[in-house]
Structure 1
């Protein structure tokens, strides 16, 4: 009886008579039966003629929420704790405020099952910041291996001021100095003291000291002085010369360098006057020819001066005081046989710049721009720079004072009078 009543409440009563189907609610067709009441399914609204049904409160899953949105309804959930919609392994999901500090309710995307997961405070911060566990572990691994991102090296454009100067050849500067660095060893003078019985390092220093005075008297270009010394050293590397002809070699070498570098080179008679007529005109011309033949007329070589002018521009800030100090130290190194022969021109020039920065208390004393353009680090220049500083320390007491007196003049900034850098500063 109870079952019958239940059935009668659910199924409509149909009266069959005279071949006509009649329904209790007056509907004409069996296809338009009243929809079943809510038996737990989520429907958009009550059926026509149905009594209001009590809604069942249950957790909103991603699947059911999608159904609501597709039907244009707002998913409503009552009497439930705040939930967090999250997916494991996916970063950037919006995280709600959990019910408790350490417990977060998570809805599984594939099942309508609510699970509880313990999430630490640090993990919640990671999710809020948008960082994934993978990115954190990668960063830690790089830091442990020393592969952290270093600040970008700043290289100054030292030729920017000469862009409109067509004589500066800004477009070719880098290629030119790459070629100079590659070719500087091809025509370097070798150690010739063992092959020259009448020439010593002291005798050579006296000759160069005298040439610096002659160079100053004739007011020649700096390029002429460095090329003159290069020609002398290269010739002595190939030919044995008696001591009585050493001054003749020096005069003829300066004549060649002047013809190569100067617009108005000194005449032969002027060099005869400098030597107090110690040689005849024909002797100077014959020695000039012998030197050019031994060197195969090859005079286009990168001397220390070629690198000095470029490296001084890379010393930021570069001022007249810095330039004078660099040339002072470079000429001291040029006069000394050990530094002139042992170190290639680019290294001697870079060491002069480095020693000048230390002497003038420049900070930083060796920048990324200098390292880039010179190709040398501080450690590579330390030994040569120490020797140049020692020459500076003893310049005032030395008997060979041509370089010292030259750079004591006010037009050279009197840089020779500056106190030399301490050896401890080079450590």
Structure 2
């Protein structure tokens, strides 16, 4: 059996020998050093004492207290490391400097001592006096002002589509996306100032034609969508082809024939339009013009007219009554009848301005809500100019030579809203 003396140090792969003491600046690896290996206390005049327990902060303080009591100067061997870990984290090492010794002593704190050290650090940090800079003061004031603004109660946007959740025709899941698409597409179906290119007709002739078509529309009891699509077809065709004064009424009749076929379930016959035009045109002439219009417009009839937006914006008014609905349609038709209004303002703005002007006329409070602003995309300031124009048309409707709209909305079936006092100022 081999003795201790017979065991020779075995060389390692790096050329060093196991068990060989470190030389010079060579330091032991962290895994080879423990508190048990280096935990010695040197006291002057006495042999070193071997320590058999881990050196924690509390134990280190106890050693210092005992040394001071015996009037000796203890020195802990530097480089003591505790490898105890808690929750996968190594224990926190901290340098403790003794006033009488210039050498740093590393002491490992145990888990019990961590809380005390954290609390002590908090007390030290809290004792420092805060220096307030101008930037911090201004930032604090800005936050206080922002909190004051946000704390104000904001009007909530009402989900008026909730009642139609079970109505498949209301397409509640897609309605918001549909109207976003309409807002993007409405500019493509708008026309510019085309009357400069029409030497034989003017804006007054256009108004006379539309005034007559309103009467025809009422006679056939057509849908509102049909009238607004008729106006759109007329304007787009006149912007692409020169028309004589003799053909203008023919363009109007043929446009309403197209719109009726597109919107109505039971569209009027061509012969019915011939009769209403007092036989000014034959059926063949109407069909030829109908074909010319469709070719010029490239069969593009699915356009967002003011009615598309009127239906949505009236609903956004939250439980509007019949008087409100009739007033909105009355103001919108007055706006469409005017050439400048149709050219200057988009269909969505005319519809939104009609709703706003109706609120002003009927003195509905509030005049404009967050729900309407959200769904229309317009504020009161943006609508005020167009609304003033619509109120001006209402003010002059009773004395105008073109009374088709006024007569229509003066009847009891429309609540006689045309006879109501116009709004003073939108």
TM-score bracket for the superposition, by shorter chain length: 0.5 to 0.7
CA displacement at 1:191 relative to structure 2: 1.1
5 Å-filtered alignment, 1:68-79, equals none
Match of 2:315 in 1: 313
CA displacement at 1:340 relative to structure 2: 1.2
Deviations 1:211-259 (A, max 9, x none): 0000000000000000000000000000000000000000000000000
CA displacement at 1:201 relative to structure 2: 1.0
Match of 2:105 in 1: none
Separation of aligned partners in 2, 1:306 and 1:289: 26
Match of 2:299 in 1: 297
Separation of aligned partners in 1, 2:120 and 2:417: 71
CA displacement at 1:152 relative to structure 2: 3.9
Separation of aligned partners in 1, 2:121 and 2:355: 57
Match of 2:188 in 1: 186
Contact 1:314–1:373, Cα closer than 8 Å, also in 2: yes
Match of 1:204 in 2: 206
Of 153, 156, 160, the residue aligned with 1:151 is 153
Q: TM-score, normalised by structure 1?
A: 0.67
Q: Per the alignment, in what secondary structure is the counterpart of residue 396 of structure 1? A: helix
Q: Which runs of 4+ in 1 moved over 4 A?
A: 87-90, 134-139, 143-147
CA displacement at 1:198 relative to structure 2: 1.4
CA displacement at 1:380 relative to structure 2: 0.6
Match of 1:395 in 2: 397
Structure 2, unaligned stretches of length 5 or more? 1-111, 113-118, 128-134
Match of 2:243 in 1: 241
5 Å-filtered alignment, 1:271-350, equals 271-350=273-352
Q: Per the alignment, in what secondary structure is the counterpart of residue 191 of structure 1? A: coil
Deviations 1:317-374 (A, max 9, x none): 4111111100000000010001111111000100000100000101110000000000
Match of 2:143 in 1: 142
5 Å-filtered alignment, 1:18-29, equals none
**Alignment root-mean-square deviation, CA:** 2.7
Structure 1, unaligned stretches of length 5 or more? 1-69, 71-86, 91-108, 116-133
5 Å-filtered alignment, 1:347-426, equals 347-422=349-424, 425-426=425-426
Separation of aligned partners in 2, 1:410 and 1:249: 32
After superposition, the Cα gap between the structure-2 partners of 1:138 and 1:398, relative to the gap in structure 1 and judged at 3 Å, is same
Match of 2:164 in 1: 162
CA displacement at 1:203 relative to structure 2: 0.7
Q: TM-score, normalised by structure 2?
A: 0.67
Match of 2:74 in 1: none
Deviations 1:94-140 (A, max 9, x none): xxxxxxxxxxxxxxx56xxxx9xxxxxxxxxxxxxxxxxx9998653
After superposition, the Cα gap between the structure-2 partners of 1:364 and 1:280, relative to the gap in structure 1 and judged at 3 Å, is same
Of 177, 197, 222, the residue aligned with 2:224 is 222
Separation of aligned partners in 1, 2:381 and 2:121: 49
